[in-house]
Amino acid sequence: MTFLLDDAVSDFRFGVEKHYSPTRRDIFNPLNGTLFSISGTEVEIIYVTKNALVKDIQRVIKQLLITKIENAGGAVLHASAFSLDGRAICYVGEKGQGKTTCLLESLKANGAKFITNDRLPIIPISGKFHVLGWFEELRLVQPSGGKKKKLRVLELCEPLRIETRPVPPKLIVLPDCLGKVGNENNAREVIEGQLLTPVDPQRPKWLGYSKSLDFDRDALLDQLPTRRLQWQFQERDELLGKIKEVVDSV
C-alpha cells in the first residue's frame, strides 16, 4: 500500500493505492470516500455522494481521452482556440497573458466557432495535425478582482457556434499584455513551455500516463506561423480589430 501525494488535485492529496497484481489495483480518496477499482482497462467507481461521482467520472474520462490522444501520437497544449472558415487560430501563452480574453473577443467575429478555452488536444490525422474541442468551464477575471466568475460554454455560445469536428490549425498567436513575450524569435520557446505532454501540473497522476509519448513537436511548429499580439486590458475595445489584423496577415 502506498500513499498518493497528488498536488494536482486539490481534494486528492492524500489518496491511498493498493496493488493486487500488475493489472489490478484500488485507489481510495479519503476526503470524499470514492474508491477507484482498476482492473486491466476497466475502472469501477464506488462513490458516497452524487457530487463526488460526477467529479470523479469526469476525471477518469478526461484522463482516458488524453491517454488515447497521446498514444495516437498527439499532445495537449495549454491554449485557447477558435475556428474560422474551417481552420483553427490558437492562443498560446502563460497564465495572465490574455488567452481567454482574446478568445472571447474572437467569438464576436462572424463565423467564429468555439474550440477550447484552456486545454487544446492536438492529434495527427492522415499525416497532418488537427486540433480537437475540449469542454470545460471558463473562469473569467472580474474587473473588481476577487473570485473568478465561472461560465459554461453553452452559456457563451449557441450549439451551432461550437466546433464539433477536428480542424487543422492555421496560426498560433502569442497574446502579450504583460510585455513578457519579447519578440517572435522566441516563439518556439514560449510554445514548448506550454506543452502539457507528458507533464501537466493539473492532471491527476493516479491513473498513470500513456506509454507512448512520441509527439513530434518540430513537425507541428515548423509548419505553423506564429504572431505576437500586443494588447492592454484598458484598450480591450480595440482588441478584436488587432486580432483580425493578425489573422489576416497569414
- 110 CB contacts (<8 Å, ≥6 apart)? none
Q: State the pLDDT at residue 234.
A: 83
- Higher pLDDT: 67 or 110? It is 110
Q: State the pLDDT at residue 3.
A: 67
pLDDT bucket at 72, cuts 50 / 70 / 90:
confident
Q: State the pLDDT at residue 169.
A: 96
Instruction: State the fold for domain 73-248.
Output: Rossmann fold (3.40.50)
- Residue 221 identity: L
Q: State the pLDDT at residue 168.
A: 96
Q: State the pLDDT at residue 213.
A: 63
pLDDT bucket at 99, cuts 50 / 70 / 90:
very high
Phi-psi region of 43 (alpha: psi -120 to 50; beta: other; left: phi over 0): beta
- 54 CB contacts (<8 Å, ≥6 apart)? none
Q: State the pLDDT at residue 137.
A: 75
Rounded to an integer, the average pLDDT of 132-161 is: 79
**Cα(14)–Cα(19) distance, rounded to whole angstroms?**
17
Largest interatomic CA distance in the chain: 60
Q: Note the pLDDT tens digit of each residue in 190-229.
A: 888 898 876 676 666 666 656 656 678 888 888 899 999 9
| Average pLDDT taken over every residue of the chain | 84
String of DSSP letters for the chain:
-EEE--TTSTT-SSEEEEEEETTEEEEE-TTT--EEEEETTEEEEE-SSHHHHHHHHHHHHHHHHHHHHHHTT-EEEEEEEEEETTEEEEEE-STTSSHHHHHHHHTTSTT-EEEESSEEEEEEETTEEEE------EEEPPTT-SSPEEE-HHHHS-GGGB--S-B-EEEEEEEESSS-S--GGGHHHHHHTTB-SS--TTS--TT---S-----HHHHHHHS-EEEEE--GGGGGGHHHHHHHHHHT-
Does the pLDDT at position 110 exceed 70? yes
| Percentage of the residues of the chain whose pLDDT score is greater than 70 | 82
Does the pLDDT at position 181 exceed 70? no
- Higher pLDDT: 201 or 238? It is 238
**Cα(203)–Cα(18) distance, rounded to whole angstroms?**
21
